[in-house]
Chain A
Amino acid sequence: MQDGTRNAGNLWSGLALAALAIYIMVEALQWEYATPEGPGPGFFPLWYGIAMLALSAVLVVSELRRRSDRGAAIEWSPLGRALSTWLALAVSVALFKPLGFLVSFALLTYFIVAVMYRRPLKIAALVAAASAAGFFLVFRLALDVALPVGVLGF
Chain B
Amino acid sequence: MEVISGFADGLAIALQPANLFWCFLGVVLGTFVGIMPGLGPPATIAMLLPLTFAMNPASAMIMLAGIYYGAKYGGSTTAILLNVPGESASVVTCLDGYQMARKGRAGAALGIAAIASFVAGTVGVLGLMLVAPPLAKFALAFSSPEYFALMALGLAMVVLLAGSSMLKALLATLVGLWIAGVGTDLFSATSRFTFGRMELLSGIDFIVVAIGIFALGEVLANMETREQAQALPSPKGLRNLLPTLRDLKDCRFAFLNGSVIGFVVGVLPGAGSTIASFLSYGVEKAVSRRRDEFGTGVPEGVAAPEGANNAETGGALVPLLTLGIPGSGTTAILLAALVLWGFKPGPLFIPENPALFWGLVASMYIGNVMLLVLNLPLVPVFAQVLRLPAYVLFPLILGVSMVGVYSVSGSLFDLGLLLGFGLLGYVMRKLDYPSAPLILGLVLGGAMERALRQSLMMSEGSLSIFAARPMPAVMLSLAVLILLVPLFGKFNAWRLRALEQKGG
**Known interface pairs A10-B431, A117-B390, A143-B51. Does A35 touch B188 (Cβ–Cβ under 8 Å)?**
yes
- Taking a contact as CB atoms under 8 Å apart, the answer to whether A1 and B415 are in contact is no
**Is B205 engaged at the interface, CB distance under 8 Å to the other chain?**
no
Would A89 and B403 count as touching, CB distance under 8 A? no
In the assembled complex, the Cα of A13 lies from the Cα of B433 at a distance in Å of 10
Determine if B2 is an interface residue (Cβ-Cβ < 8 Å). Answer: no
How many Å lie between the Cα of A50 and that of B392 in the bound state?
45
By a CB distance below 8 angstroms, the chain B residues around A10 are 431
CB within 8 Å of B: which A1-54 residues: 1, 5-6, 9-10, 13, 17, 20, 24, 27, 31-32, 34-35, 37-41, 43-45, 48, 51-52
In angstroms, Cα B219 to Cα A81, docked, is 11
Residue of A nearest to B172 (CB): A17
Instruction: Please tell me if the beta carbons of A41 and B190 are within 8 angstroms of each other in the complex.
Output: yes
User: Please, which residue of chain A has its CB at the minimum distance from the CB of B407?
Assistant: A145
The answer on a CB contact under 8 Å between A55 and B170 is: yes
User: What residues on A are CB-neighbors of B224 within 8 Å?
Assistant: 78-79, 81-82
Cβ of B67 to closest chain A Cβ, rounded Å = 17
Contact of B171 among A6, A27, A55, A118 (CB under 8 A): A55
Contacts of B432 in A (CB 8 A): 1, 6
A13-B427, A89-B419, A148-B412 are known contacts. Are A135 and B392 too (CB-CB below 8 A)? Answer: no
- Give B434 Cβ to nearest chain A Cβ, in Å: 13
Are A89 and B422 neighbours in the complex by a CB distance under 8 Å? yes
Q: Is A147 an interface residue (CB 8 A)?
A: yes
* B174 in the interface (beta carbon within 8 A): yes
**Which residues of chain A are near B190, meaning CB under 8 Å?**
31-32, 41
Interface size range of chain B in the complex: 35 or more
Question: Is A129 close to B, CB under 8 A?
Answer: no
Query: Does B187 contact A41, Cβ atoms closer than 8 Å?
Result: yes
Give, as a whole number of angstroms, the nearest-CB distance from B173 to chain A. Answer: 9
B504 within 8 A of A: no
Which B residue's beta carbon lies closest to that of A88?
B398
Q: Is there an interface contact between B422 and A55, defined as CB atoms closer than 8 Å?
A: no
- Inter-chain contacts of A55 with B (CB < 8 A): 167, 170-171, 174
Q: B426 in the interface, Cβ–Cβ < 8 Å?
A: yes
Q: Is B461 an interface residue (CB 8 A)?
A: yes
In the complex, A125 has a CB within 8 A of chain B: no
A154 at the interface (CB under 8 A from B): no
Are B192 and A31 in contact (CB-based, < 8 A)?
yes
Min CB gap A110→B, angstroms: 9
Residue of A nearest to B224 (CB): A78
Residues of B within 8 A of A56 (CB): 171
- With an 8 A cutoff between CB atoms, is B104 at the interface? no
CB < 8 Å: which of B174, B175, B223, B403 contacts A139? B403
By beta carbon, the residue of chain A nearest B50 is: A145
A101 to B401, CA, bound (A): 12
Q: Which residue of A lies closest to B170 (CB)?
A: A55
Contact B175 A40 (CB under 8 A): no
The yes or no answer to A72 lying at the interface (CB within 8 A) is no
B192 touches A93 (CB 8 A): no
Shortest distance from the beta carbon of B500 to any chain A beta carbon, whole Å:
15
Q: Which of B395, B415, B419, B453 contacts A43 (CB 8 A)?
A: B453
Given known A32-B188, A97-B412, contact A27–B430 (CB-CB < 8 A): no
Residues of B within 8 A of A135 (CB): 399, 403
**What are the residues of chain A within 8 A of B426 when measuring CB–CB?**
82, 86
Q: How far is the CA of A24 from the CA of B195 in the complex (A)?
A: 12
In the complex, what's the smallest C-beta–C-beta distance from A73 to chain B, in angstroms?
15
Contact B185 A41 (CB under 8 A): yes
Residues on A with C-beta less than 8 A from B402 are 93, 101, 105
Complexed CA–CA distance, A31 and B190 (Å): 8
CB distance from B492 to the nearest CB of A (A): 15
Query: Could you tell me if B419 and A90 are in contact, using CB atoms closer than 8 angstroms?
Result: yes
Q: Among the listed A43, A48, A59, A82, which residue makes an inter-chain contact with B220, where contact means beta carbons less than 8 Å apart?
A: A82
Residues of A within 8 A of B170 (CB): 51, 55
Q: Mark A117-154, 1 if CB is under 8 A from B, else 0.
A: 11100000001000100010001000101111000000
Interface residues of B in 213-250 (CB under 8 A from A): 216, 219-221, 223-226
Residue with the highest number of chain A CB atoms closer than 10 Å, among B221, B399, B419, B454: B399
State how many angstroms separate the Cβ of B45 from the closest Cβ of chain A: 17
The answer for the CA separation of A146 and B402 in the assembled complex, in Å, is: 12
B177 interface residue per 8 A CB criterion = yes
Q: A41 touching B395 by the CB < 8 A rule?
A: no
What is the minimal beta-carbon distance from B423 to any residue of chain A, in angstroms? 6
Task: Tell whether B193 is near chain A: CB-to-CB under 8 Å.
Answer: yes
Question: Contacts of A37 on B, CB cut-off 8 Å?
Answer: 457
Interfacial chain B residues near A78, Cβ < 8 Å: 224-225
| Distance to closest chain B CB from A149 (angstroms) | 11
Instruction: Identify the 5 closest CB pairs spanning chains A and B, nearest first.
Output: A38-B457, A78-B224, A117-B391, A109-B395, A9-B431
**Residues in chain B within 8 A of chain A (CB atoms):** 51, 167-168, 170-171, 174-175, 177-178, 181, 185, 187-188, 190, 192-193, 216, 219-221, 223-226, 389-392, 394-396, 398-399, 402-403, 406-407, 410, 412, 415-416, 418-419, 422-423, 426-427, 430-433, 449, 452-454, 456-457, 460-461
Provide a sorted-by-A list of 15 A–B residue pairs whose CB atoms are within 8 angstroms.
A1-B430, A5-B431, A20-B175, A37-B457, A41-B187, A55-B174, A56-B171, A82-B224, A108-B395, A113-B391, A116-B391, A127-B391, A135-B399, A146-B410, A148-B406
Residues of A within 8 A of B (CB): 1, 5-6, 9-10, 13, 17, 20, 24, 27, 31-32, 34-35, 37-41, 43-45, 48, 51-52, 55-56, 58-59, 78-79, 81-82, 85-86, 89-90, 93, 96-97, 101, 105, 108-109, 112-113, 116-119, 127, 131, 135, 139, 143, 145-148
Q: Given A44-B181, A44-B452, A85-B223, 11 other A-B contacts at CB below 8 A? A: A17-B171, A37-B457, A38-B461, A39-B453, A55-B167, A82-B223, A85-B394, A108-B398, A112-B391, A145-B51, A147-B406
